[in-house]
Structure 1
Amino acid sequence: MSVPASRAAPTRGRGRDVGLRALTAVALLVDAAVHLHLAPGYQAGSPQGIGQGTLFLLESAAAALAALAVLLRGSRAAYAFALLVALSAFAAVVLYRYVDLPAFGPFPAMYEPVWYFEKAASAGAEGAGAVLAGVGLARTRTRYRAPAR
């Protein structure tokens, strides 16, 4: 007995969706782990504002939360949050690698004109996470459209 196409359609891409969710979460968890590992070494920030180590801890928490949301929900909101976290972190690491921005408001100057293993691993994971979250966001938009009649 064959399953009608209307019932088979929701499960057709389930394996790809689970894989996409897992890969997105792994990328975000690598980002979170690297930032958590590096935070103590960057803790000596500006006395009046937010230190770079504190920003690293906040990034780590946001990335871990986004990974959890993508794994558990896989919704448009989860992928949008993951995209925001990964893309903003990727943009920040690339910006502060190549541009010497001064301290502004409560944020310290974070210019660091070198690449080292953890920084490159974090940037790679953030870039991959942003791409994967973007794909997930696009897939959730098309997956829930009503069928054309």
Structure 2
Amino acid sequence: MSVQSRPGRAPGVRGSGMALRILTAAALFIDAGVHVHLAPGYQAGNSAGMGQGTLFLLESAAAVLAGLYVLLRGSRAAYAVAFAVAFSAFVAVVLYRYVDIPAFGPFPAMYDPVWFFEKTASAVAEGAGAVLAAVGFVRTGRRAPRQPG
């Protein structure tokens, strides 16, 4: 029996699983790269707390770590983390595009009512990353039962 054709699995499932991991990680890495690039321009701080640039750097660190976790493990937990990071970033960029939320606690007001290339690329990568991570989460939960000996 070859390694590619194991009982209970369709041929090529292993390859498509790796492709899904790579695509999910790539979406998170694009998101991280855009946030690192934009962070210096958004560093105006909230007098009571941190600047938006600092939040961008924290988000990019979370995206890199989640991308590496998915890439290296491809587990259900890795996809859950990737989904949480990508989806929360997507919600934040869309929310702050359309809703003027004032500063609260240590967080600055981040209303930015325009779309530009980097912001759009980030939102697309975050949305795609969330969808890919959700697919990966569902797929890793669907394990075919092992056939007895």
Please, what TM-score do these two structures have when normalized by structure 2?
Answer: 0.91
Distance 1:148 1:98, change over 3 A: farther
Within a 5 Å distance, the mapping from 1:62-141 to structure 2 comes to: 62-141=62-141
Of Structure 1 and Structure 2, the greater helix share is in 1
CA-to-aligned-CA distance 1:76-103 (integer Å, 9 cap, x gap): 1110000000000000000000000111
Query: Counterpart in 2 of 1:29?
Result: 29
Structure 1 unaligned spans of 5+: none
Root-mean-square deviation (CA, aligned residues, Å) is 2.1
2: CA distance, partners of 1:11 / 1:21? 18
Single out whichever of 82-91 and 37-46 deviates more from structure 2.
37-46
2: CA distance, partners of 1:7 / 1:110? 51
CA-to-aligned-CA distance 1:22-57 (integer Å, 9 cap, x gap): 000100000000000000111111132121000000
Note the C-alpha offset of 1:10.
5.3
Structure 2 unaligned spans of 5+: none
Within a 5 Å distance, the mapping from 1:42-61 to structure 2 comes to: 42-61=42-61
Q: Which amino acid aligns with 2:42?
A: Y
1: CA distance, partners of 2:46 / 2:24? 33
SS at match of 1:71: helix
1: CA distance, partners of 2:142 / 2:147? 12
Question: How many pairs does the alignment contain?
Answer: 147
Question: What percent of counterpart residues are identical?
Answer: 69
Residues 48 and 105, structure 2, Cα contact 8 Å, conserved in 1: no
